[in-house]
Structure 1
Amino acid sequence: MNTTDIIGTIGVSLILIAYFLNIFSLIKKDGNLFYILNIFGGAIACFSSYLIRFWPFVILEGTWAVISVVALLKSIKKPQD
């Protein structure tokens, strides 16, 4: 396993951890932790895909991270009930 594989594995693992925690109701799907795990996971996986020049996943993971940033910002700005 080379460095790029390790970086990609970390990124994808963060996304999968967020998904697992959400599915088993350990975190909320609209909670900040869920968004943060997806932001870092997507960004790291995007970087790994960039390093190997695999453009479809650069776009996919980059979009994943950007959408998660937008969702986090919306969550932070939302008034607490």
Structure 2
Amino acid sequence: MYDVVQIVGSLLILSAFVGSLLGRIDASGYRYLVVNAVGSAILTVTAIISREWGFIMLEGVWAVVSVYTIVRKARGGGRPGEPQPQGA
């Protein structure tokens, strides 16, 4: 079962990545970000369980950055470095 959970997390991240490369998913859109956040969170949990420190750092940062970007986007912010809309 543990392996199945890891495969699901990996497939989520990879499906978003491939979808983005094929032009089917916008890499700055909610769908891409949410799929990445969920997939990386799943892999972070499995890495914590097995105490794989490098993997915890990689997937943990990936999850945090994805969630941060979702929150920023929901609040009306663009990508980091983009000018904020007037009146924001």
Give the alignment's TM-score, normalised by structure 1.
Answer: 0.88
Query: Which aligned pairs between 1:49-60 and structure 2 lie closer than 5 A?
Result: 49-60=47-58
Paired residues of 1:14 and 1:41 also in contact (CA < 8 A) = yes
Task: Please give the per-residue CA displacement for 1:24-59, whole angstroms capped at 9, x wherever unaligned.
Answer: 111101100000001000000111111111111011
Partner of 2:28: 30
Give the structure with the larger helix fraction.
1
- Distance in 2 of aligned mates of 1:60 and 1:4: 19
Aligned residue in 1 for 2:82: none
Aligned equivalents of 1:14, 1:57: Cα separation in 2? 16
The aligned counterpart of 2:62 is 64
SS of 1:28's equivalent in the other structure is: coil
Moved over 2 A (4+): none
SS, match of residue 26 in structure 2: coil
Percent identity at matched positions? 29
Instruction: Report which structure shows greater RCO (CA 8 Å, sep ≥6).
Output: 1
What is the DSSP-based 3-state SS (H/G/I as helix, E as strand, rest coil) of the residue aligned with 1:66? helix
Letter in 2 for 1:52: S
Higher Cα Rg, which structure = 2
Q: What is the Cα-based RMSD across aligned positions, in Å?
A: 1.7
